[in-house]
Amino acid sequence: MKNPFSLDGKTALVAGASRGIGLACARSFAQAGARTILASRDMKALEGEAAKLRDEGFQAEAAKLDVANSASIQECAAALPDVDILLNCAGINLRKKFETYTREEYDRVLQTNLHGIFELTQLVGKKMIERGKGGKVIFIGSMMSVLGLPYLSVYGITKSALWGLTRILAAEWGRHNIQVNCIAPGFILTDLNRDMWQQPVLKNWLNGAQANPKMGSGEDIGPSAVFLASPGADYITGQILAVDGGYSTTANWPFEPNA
């Protein structure tokens, strides 16, 4: 019986694959059998990670991609082989009070987290449609796709937009057998937020904020991406999958019953 979660024979492009969640997803795709193209601005890091995967017996290669630059997006897309799976993970964050964002900061976050991803998905999706063999598109959203926390307004705009785009593209591309879904990671420890999470007040807060009191890692997201990219998820589209230790649905409190 064929493994419904195998990616054998598939080609996957991971945008934002040099570290963190993107790298973890790229590794998971390769380990599941996909020819995996790791894409980002940092070619040195990508080449090193792709080489590690090849040394482990998997198929992996690097591709130059700067989602903040339209010319880079077009050049990368034009050079791609046929892509079965597109995972959009490229993104940045800037935590500030809403009234203090500059227009330059706003534009930079929007271009990286939304506009560049929009353009890449257009180009890759068009080829999927023309090829006529279906495909998978996965956006990496956030808890800010569906919830609100302070000082994340511009980031939240982009991640909310990706969740909206997920639903619309799922409806529009379903006729082409292209499934479009979104993963909403919770509090995932990465190089981008490691210093912030060293604060004891945040660690203590997390203990009461969700069912699983520990921080997540990129390795908690990779298997979910493999699932959504696999034939086992062919009848799942237009959905958002929270991988968040229960943050969006649960909370802990200090009460204990006597019996």
Q: What count of other Cβ atoms lies within 10 Å of the Cβ of residue 50?
A: 23
d(CA 204, CA 185): 20
DSSP category for residue 174: G
146: CB partners within 8 A, 6+ apart? 160, 163, 184, 240, 242, 248
DSSP sequence for 71-85? HHHHHHHHH----SE
Residue 120 backbone dihedrals phi, psi, to 5 degrees: -60, -45
Is position 155 annotated as part of the catalytic site?
yes
- What the block records as the tokens of 105 is 């900061």
- What the block records as the tokens of 27 is 């590794």
DSSP category for residue 113: I
Q: In 3D, which of 236, 117, 241, 251 has the Cα closest to residue 185?
A: 241
Which of the residues 101, 106, 155, 235 is marked catalytic? 155
Q: How many CA atoms lie within 13 A of 251 on its CB side?
A: 5
DSSP sequence for 27-49? HHHHHTT-EEEEEES-HHHHHHH
Amino acid at 161: A
Catalytic residue numbers?
Answer: 155
